[in-house]
């Protein structure tokens, strides 16, 4: 693991993946053109062809006490029918409980960074009673994704639920900051726009004292999606996803980044290495290793 000079480190001192929920999505949709006999080796489907998925968030903490959350999971505002469709489980109170285990709650969060506004990333912005879950936080979204979410295509409209996030633009709502492109939005936190999955999604790159961490969202949803053709059927521009993924994996392997997989139920953190055929592979990383212990 790279051990940079961090005597003047101003970024987060700690990054902790938090499991908000488990759910399921169709394996064919998750792997696009990849034949089922290949993807089911690593992601066995249930009787309805759904593979296990995590909704994972990332808690960032600074030495001065500032805290940020990257994505907020599915949330709890789902009907029983919807819970059955998406196989939502281990979910109610999941993020609250994960914060509580660390003597924190939603009021402790100063910033919420949203990779994009799909329901499995932004659904937790509201409490079950409809009030803002992170009332004290500044919310960060790419301008292009905010605009697209208000008028998505027929193909991806079902992934955006305005009832989860549209309140951010209203009077009395938590502060909303719209980002235009690549930017360091907080000390040590840079956002990198990606447009293959949906317009204006952003990877969140974090400079830690002992490592660089990239929260890769739906660019690489699980550790099984590292190779070029492993692209979701949900992606609006799959060839763009391939290019974006190649570019990010080049940087990750060259500079020894750690990737945080938002949807992998088993592997939260991994470095990227090339196998004997030059294909990227995930090498799991522990939290202790991430933080130089």
In the chain, what are the domain boundaries?
Answer: 14-290
Q: pLDDT confidence of 90, banded at 50, 70, 90?
A: low
CATH class of 14-290: alpha beta
Q: What does the pLDDT read at residue 201?
A: 98
Q: What does the pLDDT read at residue 8?
A: 75
**In the beta sheet, which residues pair with residue 183?**
191
Q: According to DSSP H, which parts of 22-135 are helical?
A: 27-31, 36-39, 80-85, 94-100, 119-122
Q: pLDDT confidence of 3, banded at 50, 70, 90?
A: very low
C-alpha dihedral (69, 71, 77, 79), degrees to nearest 10:
-150
Distance between CA 142 and CA 135 in Å, rounded? 20
147-to-33, 112, 177 alpha-carbon distances in Å? 29, 18, 13
Work out the average pLDDT over 80-86.
94
Q: pLDDT confidence of 186, banded at 50, 70, 90?
A: very high
- Residues 293, 81 contacting (CB under 8 angstroms): no
CA angle in degrees (0–180, nearest 5) for 96-102-105: 40
Q: pLDDT confidence of 80, banded at 50, 70, 90?
A: very high
Instruction: Tell me how crowded residue 61 is: count the other CB atoms within 10 A of its CB.
Output: 17
Q: What does the pLDDT read at residue 188?
A: 98
Parallel, antiparallel, or unpaired for β 67-70 and 111-113?
parallel
Four-residue CA torsion sign, 128, 134, 138, 139: negative
């Amino acid at each position: 693991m790279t051990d940079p000079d961090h005597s003047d480190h101003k970024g987060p001192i700690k990054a902790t993946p938090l499991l908000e929920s488990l759910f399921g999505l169709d394996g064919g949709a998750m792997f696009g053109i990849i034949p089922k006999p290949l993807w089911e080796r690593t992601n066995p489907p249930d009787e309805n062809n759904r593979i296990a998925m995590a909704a994972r968030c990332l808690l960032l903490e600074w030495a001065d006490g500032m805290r940020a959350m990257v994505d907020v999971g599915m949330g709890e505002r789902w009907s029983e029918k919807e819970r059955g469709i998406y196989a939502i489980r281990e979910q109610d109170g999941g993020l609250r409980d994960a914060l509580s285990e660390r003597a924190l709650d939603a009021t402790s969060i100063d910033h919420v960074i949203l990779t994009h506004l799909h329901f499995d990333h932004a659904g937790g912005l509201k409490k079950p009673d409809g009030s803002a879950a992170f009332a004290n936080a500044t919310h960060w979204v790419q301008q292009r994704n905010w605009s697209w979410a208000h008028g998505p295509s027929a193909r991806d409209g079902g992934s955006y639920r305005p009832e989860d996030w549209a309140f951010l633009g209203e009077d009395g709502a938590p502060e909303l900051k719209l980002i235009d492109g690549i930017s360091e939005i907080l000390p040590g936190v840079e956002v990198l726009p990606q447009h293959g999955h949906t317009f204006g999604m952003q990877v969140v790159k974090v400079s830690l004292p002992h490592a660089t961490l990239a929260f890769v969202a739906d660019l690489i949803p699980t550790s099984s999606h590292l190779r070029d053709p492993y692209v979701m059927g949900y992606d609006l521009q799959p060839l763009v996803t391939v290019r974006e993924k190649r570019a990010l994996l080049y940087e990750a392997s060259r500079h020894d980044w750690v990737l945080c997989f938002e949807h992998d139920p088993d592997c939260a953190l991994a470095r990227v290495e090339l196998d004997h055929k030059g294909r990227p592979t995930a090498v799991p990383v522990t939290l202790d290793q991430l933080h130089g212990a």
